[in-house]
Amino acid sequence: MMELSSKEYYDRVLGSWIGRVAGDFVGVPVELRSYEDILNNYGDITDYPEPINLSHVNDDEMYEIVALIALEKYGINLTSQQIAQEWINLLSREDNIFTAEKIAYNNLKAGILPPKSGVLNNFYYDFIGAQMRADIWGQITPGCPEIAKKYAQMDGSISHAGVGIEGEIFLAVLISQAFFESDIRKNINTAIKHLPPEKDSLYTQTVMKAIEIFENNPTDFRTARQILIKEYWIEELVSKVLNSSSVFPIERSILLNTRLGGVHTLPNIGIIILSLLYGAQDKQDPFGRSICIAAMMGYDTDCNCGNIGALMGVELGANKIPAKWKDPLQDTFSTFVKGHEKWKISELSQRIANIGEKVIKEKAKNQIKII
């Protein structure tokens, strides 16, 4: 049986949320800007690209806050319908709900429940939104990837389907496993086993392709990025995505062949995998290097950098994250969730750890012990 002290568990969750918020601040200034624009304006990113504005609010994390509140309200055996109800109750700023979540939100308001809410009229069912909000499900299931998978699948069905949900599962599993696995390559290899077989999943294929690209270019992330995006995503994978579904063919073709295609799940998981593998080569600061590489690669950088920060933060714990990344945050976090706009990162992390201890006690008492 694996053991984790309550103090260590909290420190890892705190590290995960510091990583999530730090990654957000690294990624926001370059979100959906072209690779060339990022390179010309920022060069080799090694710190926050812009000074941190602590009053800034990003939409990415608000779904995880809603999930936490739902867990506290309904308990750890909650349903997707109960989480969805809290979307209606708590997400009052509709101008900050986008793509798949926006369509799902409107479906929910019309009385359409999950999983139908995730697919009805939803052009974006396989975009990045579910993957973006995976962190909390890994945080409350330390060392229990199967339980993380079930939570992520349930949450993902509110607004996504197909590879959209696979993305949330994969990131939740990575984070769950990171509590006890510090080798990122081993973590990735194990997490893949929780995805559909490669022959059946474009998501699994993309993860494997990113690993292959890294192995063929072990020292040059910029060349790897060009291969991933230009040769694989644009020239090969977009057509496969379009051919894999008969729904909304015209609308989805337009979406995927314009700037908004940068919000699709598949190129972004490729970027995450490459960033983690190249970042791990930096023995001084793999946390910061992984986040910065993801920022330099472009596409949906705030989502990618946030997921990477959350994963690396679990690996390290808050105490081992370099001060240059955590001190500027001043333990402060803001969100658009109604009635829960201002947080201390430390208090948010403690509430998540409290839920996690309940999950371990009730669902994984023969696997993990919090002491």
Cα distances from 235 to residues 127, 138, 239, 241, 332, in angstroms, run 19, 33, 8, 12, 42
The top-level CATH class assigned to 2-370 is mainly alpha
The segments of the chain whose pLDDT lies below 70 read none
Residue-level pLDDT at 65: 97
Residues in contact with 189: Cβ distance below 8 Å, sequence separation at least 6, in sequence order: none
The 10 Å Cβ neighbour count of residue 358 is 15
Tell me the residue ranges of DSSP E strands in the chain: 2-4, 332-334, 342-344, 368-370
Q: How far apart are CA 310 and CA 14, in angstroms?
A: 9
- Predicted local confidence at residue 357, as pLDDT: 97
The pLDDT of residue 302 is 97
pLDDT in tens, 262-302: 999 999 999 999 999 999 999 999 999 999 999 999 999 99
**What is the model's pLDDT at position 17?**
98
pTM: 0.97
The predicted pLDDT at position 46 comes to 98
